[in-house]
Amino acid sequence: MTTIISASTTMSGSYITHLTNMNRAAQDVTLGTRMVNHDAAITSLSASATTAAANVTALQALIKASASYTAVTGDASASSITLSPGIGNIRGFMVQPYTTGSYISSFNVVNSGGSLVVKSTASATWVIAAGDILEYTVW
């Protein structure tokens, strides 16, 4: 049964105490729910971090070679640079070329018989120069 109290109704001290206790209980329930949700979120993030760490470890285990090559004067006259990591069959690779410290985004890499051939794209302004750096990882 619901009792509606009008604004003109005077509440007794015990009724006010009862309402205060109900309000505190409701706040405690809300706080408890938030704490449970917070704990669930932390558990989920922790599991994600563990998964991410496992994935990084698995990827690191696949890496067969990682190195950096600095172009020499003879490379400057060529239209490409061939990187030979010496691991045989290359299943995957990542190459990052830099010229004067800036990353070059317009380049092609061809996986050819255990070597990587790196060259500028037709529309690129990058011309291989002595001192250019090619960082690479192969697996």
For the residues 45-61, what does the mean pLDDT come to? 78
Closest among 74, 69, 70, 71 to 84, alpha carbons compared: 69
pLDDT at 55 over 80: no
For position 29, what pLDDT does the model report? Answer: 65
Closest among 84, 83, 70 to 128, alpha carbons compared: 70
C-alpha distance across the termini of the chain, in Å: 73
pLDDT at 63 over 80: no
For the residues 32-48, what does the mean pLDDT come to? 73
For position 95, what pLDDT does the model report? Answer: 92
For residue 51, with 0-12 CB atoms within 10 Å meaning exposed, 13-18 middle and 19 or more buried, which class applies? exposed
pTM given for the model = 0.55
Tens digit of each residue's pLDDT (9 = 90 or more) over 102-137: 988 888 899 988 899 998 776 667 788 889 999 988
CA distances from 102 to 45, 70, 92 (A): 35, 14, 24
Assign 20 a pLDDT band (cuts: 50, 70, 90): confident
For position 53, what pLDDT does the model report? Answer: 82
